[in-house]
Structure 1
Amino acid sequence: METVADALVSTLREFGARYVFGVSGANIEHIHDSLYRLGQNRLNSVLCKTETGAAFMADGYARQTGSIGVCCATSGGGAVNLAVGVAEARASGVPVLALVGCPPKSLQGRGAFQQAEGGGNQVDGEKMWRSVAKRVSVLKVEDFWPNLRSTLIAMLSGHPGPAVLLIPRDTMEEFVPPCPAGKLHRFCAQIRESVHSTYPVPLMPSAMFRSAWLEAKRPVVIAGAGIANSAQLTEWAEREQVPVATTLEAPSAFPQTNSQFLGMVGVAGHPTCHDYIERSDCILALGTSLDIMARAPIESAAREKPVCIVHTNLQALPDWSRLVAIEECPKRWLAQDFLSTDGDSSRLRDWPEPRPFERSVVRETERTDASGLGNTQAVEAMQSHLHAFDIVMMDAGNCAATAAHHLRFPAGVHSQITLGMGGMGYAVCAGIGAQLARHDQRTLVLCGDGAMLTTGMELHTAIELGLPILWVIFNDSQHGMCTTRQRKLFDGRIHATRYSQVDFVTMVSGLAGDNQIWLARADSQAAVSRRLQEYLQIEPRVPGMLELEISTEEVPPFFPFMSAESPKRERQVVERTLA
């Protein structure tokens, strides 16, 4: 017979999980002991520096594999820290499984250390988790197998999301009944079959939208993260002669080198893309619910057009008069070929090449050095080196907006900006999970100094594992997006967004031994290119960090800030978009 901890680890191993990201503690140590004994080099522990970082890594891993990411934490502060990353997974629809150790049942309600049963002065842990996860349950011996089955099915069915298993310490030592399927591999196969059986029969779009699409002369597809990197979409768009725009969350969801690529839509999108969508006569959105970050620049133009959204998440849709919404996996839906025109040659092929905004420098600030390095110059220097990377993770903020706006990602590169909760520091950690998911490739992480200060100690995790990840830190000693808003919305009163200079090269050098990580600085566009070339020539591959000394402050290519409307109207757009 197996204990709860052993049975859980063995099942996750057979289900295909490869890593459990976490920080140990008294009430989770049975899980780590089971991993040590039963992982079989197929399911391994990754010791993180923070529980938040662990959840972010599990999230990054899950996004790259399309399967579950697993993280764990002990009770009390560890569990609360883990909740930050689980909340991001919930907001972005990522199947992360959080294993949370709890005080033993025998002490619950009797003053256990870190107890969280609610009432009096106690945190109600279960209620907290229910507010951030798709499914939460307390793991018990008597319903171990059906509970675990239901948990995994819930995570992967419909719109994916995180699940939390609360496991009392003494429960981990109790013995579970035999696996009901006889063999673990059979039990796991049944779960996968159940996930697929939950998909509904794909629905045909309304007759009104289908007619509008088939008759359209300038139809447009907007591809979101839910259909990213789909060869099926690429083939269909080429056959149907329809241009495809992507969103900020997944800029390269559609190959940017493809002739059908229209550009990126949204708050950091291309003006040429927005202009074309305004002239379009029908819009099909796949894998995106067109939230405000995607639709802000096209809201007024799209409001009266026929629009169909196909996505697994239909919450908080735009209030448009001709909108049709279908709750479905966009890849499965597209395979039904509901909108095929057999390549109607009457459609106009007049979409433009994506064109970015002109670089806009804030010259009135004492921090601006006209000859120094700015965000746009930095990302332009990266363009010729992007082909060497397979994954590009961008942390939300000015550097991400600039990178997504100006870079053209080569074919096959997976790019991502996480906008679910949009917190600083996600990409610093998630890049580690992503790299472990695709271990034979390279990952590039672009982030600001604020993100690095938030979760930068997780570089130690990558150093220990020897992962070929390059972090590029845009260091301008401020929270740049916040500073820009203060200039725009608060008459230039800059407050609580700037801090003293941090030397990240020195800081990170203390995390590694000799030759364990490559470290460098760059203060000009030419230096950025030289340093990248230097890093890419290192063999064997090692982690790296390039600190960019940003001395030119720019207005980011963020739609509300680049608007040509009146200051009053611009302020209203900014406030609505950022609300």
Structure 2
Amino acid sequence: MKLHEVVADGLKQLGVTHLYGLIGDANLFMVNSFVTSGCGRYIACNHEANAVLAAIGHAQVTGRTGVATITHGPALTNAATALTEAAKGGNPLVLICGDTAPGDLQHLQNTDQKALVLATGADFIDLRRADTALEDMERAFRRASLLRKPVVLNMRVDLQWDETGPQKIGFEPPAPVLAPASGALLEEAVGMLASAKRPLILAGRACIGDAARQALVALADRIEAPLATTLKAQGLFDGHPFNIGISGNLSHPTATEVIMQSDCILAFGASLSKYTTEDGAYTQGKRVVQILPDALETPRMAPPTIRLIGDIAGTANAMTALLDLAEIPGSAATDTALAERLNAEAAAFDTLPAEVATAPGTVDITMALRRLHQSLPRRRVLVADLGRFVFSAWRNLPVTQPRDLVFTSHFGGIGCGIGQAIGTATTIDDCPTVLVAGDGGMLLSALGELSVIRRETPDLVIIVCNDGSYGAEHVQFTNRALPPDLSMTDPPDFAAMARAAGLDAVTISNAETLEAACSAIADRQGPLLIDLRLDPEKVFK
């Protein structure tokens, strides 16, 4: 077998079903072997960054390691932002990247790829020889899965046609079995909980899974505590009568009041970032017990009162058992009055808000997104690019389970949404993917991928929040009474460009066209782009 055939077969042995990429002279034969041998589905993107981002999107909605492939040199520099996004987000990813032959100093695409990769926070592993190919691949996939980070597998172009015998993968992707937290710190944490008058359980992304959810709900019911989530765990407690929703700057008024009145917070699988705690306002003066499944996250955020390391479900069950053993009564923090207030919040959300007056040819973002929410299936995957519109998107287009929220903003860059939406929409086939992006993000990275969307025909709805500006810069100019001219984008007609690429598209500029867009969602037969025209002076700041 040739090396490129061995690598393709190795991906099949590792259970890789989706490979995202852009071919060049260092990876084209491997991709060809992957496709022609029926190893899995190959989705070609038009920019290397979007190929890597697509693999991140795939990883977020499946919980598995995403896989992408690109060639060398400028292909890798093009992907640097995407690799950094994966590293900061703790997304398991393997990028099979080409490299120039050693000693070929005059190769135009020769660069120090290891130094570049390490600067992004990703790991770097050389594919050493043809006869070590699967051994090196094993190591890359193992590190990506265990450390929840991107790993670049560096595959030299001069090795592609080297001969070797068939090779077998000698491991399965690890599924670590963790023990519950135990000992004196656990007992101290339960003591805090036992004395609390208004406890609150907060769950983060690490709580995804039936076992963790059931254990947290049982603990909450036992101590009569309301349940909240971080943004990235939105929907985890959907349907529970005392689910107060998201903790942070997306909290509704009742949730904010409940969180502020709490005296002890049990934070399971949550990093307690400033966005979840409102810059510490939600945790100030409270006893905070943080339970994490491993120690990888501990240096990142402000320390809690107590930090426990252990299995989420097992630790929650251990707390419930200790409370039962000591016959500790419930806190009475959940009652009929709270249930009624939460029902009122839900009813208010189901009612369209009054429309805020905007400039001619534009609509109110909150009312428009809420109406689109009503038109979309209740279950959908939300991919929100970054921009000042994003809070409105997260608030008005909620998801019903955590894996249906694809977070694209770990590195704080616009334009990371389209790639992750491609990865999501080509993976999930039982509900639509909804991408919400700004005009700046679309201009930066999305227009070149419209042909990919046409070719793959996923169930994808793209909502372009088009206020004709770079929002954060517009805010800074206007806050200082300076003209915002430099922040204006003068965008093209996105709907016309989408139609030219072979997609269906509509523009929303008033109440009538908003209803037409809702009808287009209901009648869609393939990808749909919605150009949502907004007033830059009235977008959420």
TM range (shorter): 0.7 to 0.9
Paired letter, 2:175: H
Q: What SS does the corresponding residue of 1:477 show, helix, strand or coil?
A: coil
Alignment correspondent of 1:330: 312
Alignment correspondent of 1:119: none
Paired letter, 2:528: G
User: Cα gap change, 1:69/1:175 in structure 2, threshold over 3 Å: closer, same or farther?
Assistant: same
> Matches of 2:134 and 2:400 in 1, distance apart?
45
> Matches of 2:521 and 2:539 in 1, distance apart?
30
What fraction of aligned residue pairs are identical, expressed as a percent? 20
Contact 1:219 1:283 (C-alpha < 8 Å) held by counterparts: yes
> Matches of 1:510 and 1:336 in 2, distance apart?
59
Alignment correspondent of 2:144: 155
Match of 2:83 among 62, 83, 86: 86
Further displaced range: 325-334 or 353-362? 353-362
Alignment correspondent of 1:543: 527
> Matches of 1:427 and 1:443 in 2, distance apart?
11
Paired letter, 1:524: N
Alignment of 1:149-228 (within 5 A): 149-157=138-146, 159-179=147-167, 183-184=168-169, 187=170, 190-192=171-173, 195-197=174-176, 199-204=177-182, 205-228=185-208
Q: CA deviation at 1:10?
A: 0.9
Match of 2:217 among 208, 217, 237: 237
Q: CA deviation at 1:303?
A: 4.9
Q: What SS does the corresponding residue of 2:19 show, helix, strand or coil?
A: strand
Alignment correspondent of 2:274: 292
> Matches of 2:495 and 2:66 in 1, distance apart?
31
> Matches of 1:317 and 1:92 in 2, distance apart?
12
Match of 1:129 among 107, 114, 117: 117
User: Cα gap change, 1:410/1:202 in structure 2, threshold over 3 Å: closer, same or farther?
Assistant: closer
Alignment correspondent of 1:71: 68
Gaps of 5+ in 1: 117-123, 562-579
Q: What SS does the corresponding residue of 1:445 show, helix, strand or coil?
A: strand
- Give me the TM-score of the superposition, normalised by structure 2: 0.87
User: Cα gap change, 1:271/1:49 in structure 2, threshold over 3 Å: closer, same or farther?
Assistant: same
Alignment correspondent of 1:377: 367
Gaps of 5+ in 2: none
Q: What SS does the corresponding residue of 1:294 show, helix, strand or coil?
A: coil
Alignment correspondent of 1:527: 513
Alignment correspondent of 2:244: 262
> Matches of 1:336 and 1:95 in 2, distance apart?
30
Superimposed CA distance per residue, residues 85-115 of structure 1 (whole angstroms, 9 cap, x where no aligned partner): 121111111111101101123x44x322311
> Matches of 2:518 and 2:322 in 1, distance apart?
44
Match of 2:431 among 430, 433, 441: 441
Alignment of 1:139 onto 2:117:
no
Q: What SS does the corresponding residue of 1:262 show, helix, strand or coil?
A: strand
Paired letter, 1:394: A
> Matches of 2:143 and 2:217 in 1, distance apart?
32
Alignment of 1:277 onto 2:259:
yes
User: Cα gap change, 1:325/1:134 in structure 2, threshold over 3 Å: closer, same or farther?
Assistant: farther
Contact 1:52 1:82 (C-alpha < 8 Å) held by counterparts: yes
Contact 2:507 2:531 (C-alpha < 8 Å) held by counterparts: yes
User: Cα gap change, 1:259/1:229 in structure 2, threshold over 3 Å: closer, same or farther?
Assistant: farther
Contact 1:392 1:413 (C-alpha < 8 Å) held by counterparts: no
Q: CA deviation at 1:412?
A: 8.4
Paired letter, 1:101: G
Paired letter, 1:20: L
Q: What SS does the corresponding residue of 1:398 show, helix, strand or coil?
A: coil
Contact 1:214 1:339 (C-alpha < 8 Å) held by counterparts: no
Contact 2:453 2:527 (C-alpha < 8 Å) held by counterparts: yes
- Give me the TM-score of the superposition, normalised by structure 1: 0.82
Contact 1:103 1:168 (C-alpha < 8 Å) held by counterparts: yes
Contact 2:376 2:522 (C-alpha < 8 Å) held by counterparts: no
> Matches of 1:412 and 1:201 in 2, distance apart?
24
Match of 1:113 among 89, 92, 108: 108
> Matches of 2:207 and 2:371 in 1, distance apart?
29
Further displaced range: 124-133 or 246-255? 246-255
Q: CA deviation at 1:293?
A: 2.2
> Matches of 1:339 and 1:527 in 2, distance apart?
57
Q: CA deviation at 1:445?
A: 1.2
> Matches of 2:355 and 2:519 in 1, distance apart?
28
Superimposed CA distance per residue, residues 14-73 of structure 1 (whole angstroms, 9 cap, x where no aligned partner): 2221121111111222222222332x1x41221101001101110001111111111111
Superimposed CA distance per residue, residues 366-395 of structure 1 (whole angstroms, 9 cap, x where no aligned partner): xx5289412111111123224354211111
Paired letter, 1:111: Q
Superimposed CA distance per residue, residues 305-345 of structure 1 (whole angstroms, 9 cap, x where no aligned partner): 2332425442444435x522234553565465567746954
> Matches of 2:331 and 2:237 in 1, distance apart?
24
Match of 1:46 among 43, 49, 60: 43
Q: CA deviation at 1:472?
A: 0.8
Further displaced range: 326-335 or 67-76? 326-335
Superimposed CA distance per residue, residues 496-534 of structure 1 (whole angstroms, 9 cap, x where no aligned partner): 32121421011122222xxxx221111235532441233
Alignment of 1:311-326 (within 5 A): 311-312=293-294, 313-320=296-303, 322-326=304-308
User: Cα gap change, 1:35/1:316 in structure 2, threshold over 3 Å: closer, same or farther?
Assistant: same
Q: What SS does the corresponding residue of 2:69 show, helix, strand or coil?
A: strand
Alignment correspondent of 1:13: 12
Q: What SS does the corresponding residue of 1:420 show, helix, strand or coil?
A: coil
> Matches of 1:502 and 1:311 in 2, distance apart?
47
Superimposed CA distance per residue, residues 344-372 of structure 1 (whole angstroms, 9 cap, x where no aligned partner): 54431154535899999999xxxx52894
Contact 1:278 1:302 (C-alpha < 8 Å) held by counterparts: no
Alignment of 1:248 onto 2:231:
yes
Alignment of 1:97 onto 2:94:
yes
Q: What SS does the corresponding residue of 1:46 show, helix, strand or coil?
A: strand
Q: CA deviation at 1:127?
A: 1.2
User: Cα gap change, 1:92/1:54 in structure 2, threshold over 3 Å: closer, same or farther?
Assistant: same
